[in-house]
Structure formats: C-alpha cells, structure tokens
Amino acid sequence: MAGRHRRNGNRGGHAVTDAPGALDARREMVGRLRRKGLTDPRVLEAMSTVPRERFIPEQYAAMAYEDRPVPIGAGQTVSAPDIVALTATALALTGRESVLEVGGGSGYAAAVLALCASHVITIERRAHLADRARRVLGDLGYDTIEVRHADGMTGAPDAAPFDAIAVAAMAHEIPPALFDQLAPDGVLVCPVGDASSGELLLAGAGRRTSLSRVSFVPLVEGLDR
C-alpha cells in the first residue's frame, strides 16, 4: 500500500503512516546506496521500510534522508544511511540471527537490523536516548527489539552468544567482553581508531577486515542517567 508499511514490515502487526514526502525520500536514499555498491536485498528492503524521520528530533527531521549523520541530541547522531547499510551488509544477516547493537542512539539502526535478523538487543548508555528509542520503536511496532539502558562496553552477557554484534561508536580496541559474547562462527562490526576517526572493522572467526574509513562519536564506558 503506497505511503504505508507493509503489515509484516515491522513485525509489529500494525501499519504506520509515512510523513509527507518520506516514501520518495527513502526511494532516493536506497538509489544512492545502490550506486555506492550497497546492494544486499535484505538490507535495502529494510531501509526502504524503516521511517528514518521518526527517529530524529523534529527540528532535524528535514535532514533525515540526507547522505550524512543527523543530530539526535546530547552530542550524538544517527549514522549516515550508507554506514548503517554497510554495517548491516557486513553482518550478512539471513533473518535467523540474534544480534547485539552497542550504541543504540535513536534506535534507527536497530530497526534496520531487526528487519534483517530474528531478534535485536540494543544498548544505549544515555537514559533519555534509550527511553526515546524504546518509545519510538514501540510506537512503530518493532517488537523483536529490546532496548537496554546499560554500559555497552560490557555487552549483554545474559543473552549471549550473539550471531552478530554491531558497535556504533569509536573504540580504541574492540572491547574483549563483546568478543566473549560472540558465537564461534559469529561476526562483529566495530569502528576502531583514535578520537572520532578510524576504520570500520569486520572481525570474528579468525578474520579482521577494514571496511571503510569512518568517523563516529567515541565509545564511552559507564552510564549517563
């Protein structure tokens, strides 16, 4: 149905009306991703479905589908669409996986991952961002996502092992606790570098591959209430 999600698109059982122009903007975004060589059909279908504008504060909503990170408050951003797509593509999700996301922020990337996997736990250290992400995801019906206000450096050991882990903040090195929570044949994507600049690395199963040069906010230990 034009202008609305398919009933099973968000796995929540109810449709959501798109903001004016959002459907066309998503189509244009997906076209840009294809031209950049990001062609995984599961990822592109998810990104053509998730209403990115709903995860962004109203004052920045007009920037939702631009090819750039968008502010969400507290010095944080929702990653640019190509970084979300690159991360999800690198995880090679088939729809059966249990996924951990560290640095949940707005909840947008978790929504994309949820449409590519079976279940997602997303961790956000800032209470107000976790609360907002939980509310937006609930309103949109993404019932296969669990939002936790927790320290992402420690992961979610009670729910391990994970088939895939995505980190959305720059680490000096990949936190050992996350490797410990990865299934033996699982994969992990994490930006690694100094300050806000580094490489997006794919690691796991004895491999470590650089996917792209990236810029992210730093991965910080502890909670912010």
Which pLDDT does position 16 carry in this prediction?
Answer: 59
Q: Please provide residue 135's backbone torsions phi and psi, each rounded to the nearest 5 degrees.
A: -65, -45
Q: Does 3.40.50.150 match the CATH number of domain 22-215? A: yes
Q: Please provide residue 48's backbone torsions phi and psi, each rounded to the nearest 5 degrees.
A: -80, -10
Measured between alpha carbons, how far is residue 200 from residues 56, 137, 220 in Å? 24, 26, 17
The Cα–Cα gap between 167 and 103 comes to 6
Which pLDDT does position 17 carry in this prediction?
Answer: 61
Within 10 angstroms of residue 140's Cβ, the number of other Cβ atoms is 22
The Cα–Cα gap between 182 and 186 comes to 6
On the question of pLDDT at 111 being above 70, the answer is yes
Residue 80 is classified by DSSP as P
Q: How far does the chain reach from its first CA to its final CA, in angstroms?
A: 41
Q: Encode pLDDT of 24-77 as tens digits.
A: 999 999 999 999 999 999 999 999 999 999 999 999 999 999 999 999 988 899
199 DSSP β-pair partners: 192, 213
70 DSSP β-pair partners: 78
Could you give the percent of the chain with pLDDT greater than 70?
92
Q: Which residues contact 161 (CB under 8 A, 6 or more apart)?
A: 98, 181, 182, 183, 184, 186
List, by residue number, the catalytic residues: 79
On the question of pLDDT at 4 being above 90, the answer is no
Spans of all domains in the chain: 22-215
